[in-house]
Amino acid sequence: MSETTRAEATGPTAGATGVDAAETDSAAPDGQGGMPAVHPRRDRRRWLLWGALVVVLFLVPIYLPGQYLIVSTWVMTGAVGAMGLTMLIGQAGQLSLAHSFFLLVGGVSYTVLSSDGTDGFVGLGLPTALSLVLAVAISAAVGAAFAPVSGRLTGIYLGVASLSLVFLGWWLARVLPSIAGSTSSGRYADDLNLFGFDFGEKSPTLAILGVPIGQNERLFWLYAALTLIAYFVARGAVDGRVGRAWRAVRDNEAAATVMGVSVVRQKSVAFAVSSAYAGLAGVMVVWWYDGLLKPDEAVDSGTYSTAVAIAYLAMVVIGGLGSLGGAIVGAAVVFGTPLIIPLLSQGDSSAVLSSGGTAFSPVVITYLAYGALIVLIVLFEPGGLAALGRRLTARLKRS
């Protein structure tokens, strides 16, 4: 594998943020909002950039080895979830630690809706694409059902109240193994099958440029498409009426009420939207694990645990609260680096040798690093990497 393919590895995320940074100039994320006045030529250039990004994303799986694709798809699950959370925390100003609960809701809903029930678990046997849409809708509905709490509380009170959902989901998954699978062996969900194209195909017959298009490649395309769709929907919400209402609520509830914004309603809507994003990310997590849905043994470590909720918080803080592009970069930092460092340094092994001669795995210190990064970023660059990027591009333009 040459250096050029490695450069490709950072291609998709770097490209996406480049465009986003250019865009936020006119989209004014900090509340001045309004219709962005876009020069026609600039508009055309933006379409060209998006087109180029799509082409690059299409080509990436053909050039990139499978293990990098696995890292990229994992980063994209994080990116989708983090976009939801950054809207809730950064735009609406509501702290939520329930993101991993909604991952579980999305994953379980998809699995129950799509599997046919022949394996002894509860299943409805719906078409997979319909199940995906319904799973996202169910996550949104569960988020909306939390409205009596999410609409009234703010700050740490909402944070801890939403954390209770993670505990609730953990207990429910344990006492209902026929729905969520057992904690030891779990249960399997079906791959997404769109017009006969199986996105989890393990023994592919299709090949492009001599590269067999197997599960990794297919999932990459699927996840890239879902991430782009999620990004555009979120962009629309943030730049539109809803986003302005959220920022009004965040900045001053009394003023928002005077302007005719229903504070309780907007808080609940933000919570439901962020839940829908987490639900989609939850389905992506299940696919990423080869369709395996397995509840956690412990509430504080595992796929749907409090630790994951905090990892998502770390993503949106590191990326920059409220910034969608930042959420994607944050996902790359939090989900990507622990996996990519061992890949880059020693090919495949999971441990890195330090100067003292003791081997350690980067995964071990990730939470220590998130904790420290969260504190440092809030103290020294509250806008996160997004603000850093904006300042950098502004400086480049000036010179």
Interface pick for other proteins out of 382, 391, 392, 394 (rule CB under 8 A): 382
C-beta separation of 299 from 117 below 8 A = no
The smaller minimum CB distance to other proteins, of residues 133 and 374, is found at: 374
Minimum distance, C-beta of residue 382 to other proteins, in the bound complex (Å) = 7
Q: Which segment (150-158, 213-221, 235-243, 323-331) binds other proteins by CB under 8 A?
A: 150-158
Q: Which two tokens stand for residue 117?
A: 């029930």
CB contact set of 23 (below 8 Å; sequence gap of 6+): 46, 235
Minimum distance, C-beta of residue 282 to other proteins, in the bound complex (Å) = 22
Cα–Cα distance measured from residue 244 to residue 152, given in angstroms and rounded to the nearest whole number: 20
Chain centroid offset of residue 208 CA = 29
For residue 284, CA distances in Å to 12, 78, 195 come to 18, 9, 19
Contact call for residue 137 and other proteins (CB under 8 A): no
Cα–Cα distance measured from residue 363 to residue 348, given in angstroms and rounded to the nearest whole number: 14
What DSSP line would sit under 126-163, residue for residue?
--HHHHHHHHHHHHHHHHHHTHHHHTT--HHHHHHHHH
Q: Which two tokens stand for residue 154?
A: 């703010």
The smaller minimum CB distance to other proteins, of residues 214 and 384, is found at: 384
Contact call for residue 88 and other proteins (CB under 8 A): no
Cα–Cα distance measured from residue 367 to residue 292, given in angstroms and rounded to the nearest whole number: 25
Minimum distance, C-beta of residue 16 to other proteins, in the bound complex (Å) = 24
Cα–Cα distance measured from residue 170 to residue 296, given in angstroms and rounded to the nearest whole number: 7
The smaller minimum CB distance to other proteins, of residues 90 and 123, is found at: 90
Interface pick for other proteins out of 354, 395, 397, 398 (rule CB under 8 A): 354
Place of tokens 């508009």: 43
Q: Which segment (25-33, 154-162, 178-186, 332-340) binds other proteins by CB under 8 A?
A: 154-162
Minimum distance, C-beta of residue 143 to other proteins, in the bound complex (Å) = 16
Contact call for residue 145 and other proteins (CB under 8 A): no
Minimum distance, C-beta of residue 78 to other proteins, in the bound complex (Å) = 17
Minimum distance, C-beta of residue 341 to other proteins, in the bound complex (Å) = 13
Q: Which segment (12-20, 41-49, 147-155, 209-217) binds other proteins by CB under 8 A?
A: 147-155
Interface pick for other proteins out of 356, 395, 398, 399 (rule CB under 8 A): 356
CA atoms within 13 A on the CB side of 162: 35
The amino acid present at 42, given as its one-letter code, is R
Interface pick for other proteins out of 163, 179, 332, 339 (rule CB under 8 A): 163
Minimum distance, C-beta of residue 327 to other proteins, in the bound complex (Å) = 15
* Burial status of residue 293 (CB atoms within 10 A of its CB: 0-12, 13-18, 19 or more): buried
Place of tokens 């995906």: 132
Contact call for residue 313 and other proteins (CB under 8 A): yes
Length of the chain as a residue count: 399
Contact call for residue 159 and other proteins (CB under 8 A): yes
Minimum distance, C-beta of residue 146 to other proteins, in the bound complex (Å) = 10
Interface pick for other proteins out of 141, 145, 153, 228 (rule CB under 8 A): 153
The smaller minimum CB distance to other proteins, of residues 68 and 271, is found at: 271
For residue 252, CA distances in Å to 151, 295, 321, 383 come to 15, 40, 17, 19
Interface pick for other proteins out of 38, 129, 208, 378 (rule CB under 8 A): 378
For residue 117, CA distances in Å to 47, 113, 282, 290, 310 come to 45, 9, 20, 18, 34
Nearest-5° Cα angle at 294, 293 to 298: 150
Beta-bridge partners for 208: 211
Contact call for residue 141 and other proteins (CB under 8 A): no
Interface pick for other proteins out of 114, 115, 303, 306 (rule CB under 8 A): 306
Interface pick for other proteins out of 19, 300, 302, 342 (rule CB under 8 A): 300
Q: How many chain residues are in contact with other proteins, going by CB under 8 A?
A: 47
The residues that touch other proteins, with contacts defined as CB under 8 A, are 89, 93, 95, 97, 148-149, 152-157, 159-161, 163-164, 167-168, 171, 174-175, 300, 306, 310, 313-314, 317, 321, 354-356, 358, 360, 364-365, 367-368, 370-375, 378-379, 382
